[in-house]
Every structure is written in C-alpha cells, then in structure tokens.
Structure 1
C-alpha cells in the first residue's frame, strides 16, 4: 500500500484544489489571495458587470502577474542573453 501526502487548498469551507507538493499548494493559495484582492478593484471599474467574467478576469490577471508587473513598470523584463559568437580560430 502506498502512502500519498496531499495538500488541499480550502477557501470558504470548500476544497478548491489538491496538490502533491506544498510549494504548489502555497502558490495556488497565493494566487487565490490575489484574486480576492483584484475582484473589488475590478468591480470599481464598472467595465465588467457579470460576476463570472469579473472573477475570470481577476484569475487571469493573478495567473499572469509577472507580465502584469512588467507592463506596469514594477518589474524589469528578463531577457536571455545570447552567447557571444565564437571568435575565429587563428591559423597556424
């Protein structure tokens, strides 16, 4: 018999998701915290009146937080440096 450790994210008494690693569960919980903060902010915009669309937009922004921070100028875009071209070999 195998023993499996599961980490369950619970919100308002309901199980939201189950993970096999604590780090993944913590990351998901943090994302849900962001959604909880974004929903009231988005409600003030009056751009979205449907509750499901409002939560979907908040979830999208939370999932894409790195790109949102870059777009807002709060974070620098990380660019991968290309390796320098190899110098030509000297002929003997």
Structure 2
C-alpha cells in the first residue's frame, strides 16, 4: 500500500486545487489572494463587468502578475517565440 501526501487549497469550504508539493499549493494560494485583492480594485474602475468576467479578469491578472508587473514598469511585452517547424512540415508546405 502506498502513502500519498496531497496538499489541497480550500477557499470558502470549496476545494480549489490539489498539489503534490506544499510549495506549489502555497504559490497557488498566494495567487488566489492576489486575485481576491484585485476584485475590489477592478470594481472601482468605470468598467461594467459581470461578476464572472470580473473574477476571470482578476484571476488572469494574478496568474500573470510577473508579466503584468514588468508591463506596469514600462518594459516591452515579451513576445512568444515562434514554433519551430520541422523539416517534414516544411516539405509538406512546399508541395
């Protein structure tokens, strides 16, 4: 019989996510804290968002906080590297 340790992030009595490490669970919990703190900030704006859209936006911003912080500092956005094309796909396209 195997013993498996799981770390569960619970918010308002609801299990949000399960992780294999405490570090990952703590990071996710902190991200949820940031999202919760962003909601009142976003509500102060003149945007008229439904609650579900507001929560999704706050979650997106919180999950991308490092990129957002760099953008707010004036850094240029980092573009995703183009996918490398294999020789087989290049040959198929040239036909």
Under TM normalisation by the shorter chain, which class is it?
0.7 to 0.9
> What is the alpha-carbon distance in structure 1 between the residues aligned to residue 58 and residue 45 of structure 2?
12
Provide closer, same or farther for how the CA distance between residues 23 and 37 of structure 1 changes in structure 2, counting only shifts above 3 A: same
Q: What aligned pairs does 1:27-38 form with structure 2 within 5 A after superposition? A: 27-38=27-38
| TM-score normalised over the length of structure 2 | 0.74
Aligned to 1:56: 56
> What is the alpha-carbon distance in structure 1 between the residues aligned to residue 64 and residue 31 of structure 2?
10
Larger radius of gyration between Structure 1 and Structure 2: 1
Aligned residue pairs total 76
Gapped regions of structure 1 (runs ≥ 5)? 78-92
Runs of 4+ in structure 1 off by over 3 angstroms are: none
> What is the alpha-carbon distance in structure 1 between the residues aligned to residue 9 and residue 45 of structure 2?
29
**Structure with the higher helix share, 1 or 2:** 2
Q: What aligned pairs does 1:37-52 form with structure 2 within 5 A after superposition? A: 37-52=37-52
Aligned to 2:24: 24
Provide closer, same or farther for how the CA distance between residues 74 and 30 of structure 1 changes in structure 2, counting only shifts above 3 A: farther
| TM-score normalised over the length of structure 1 | 0.76
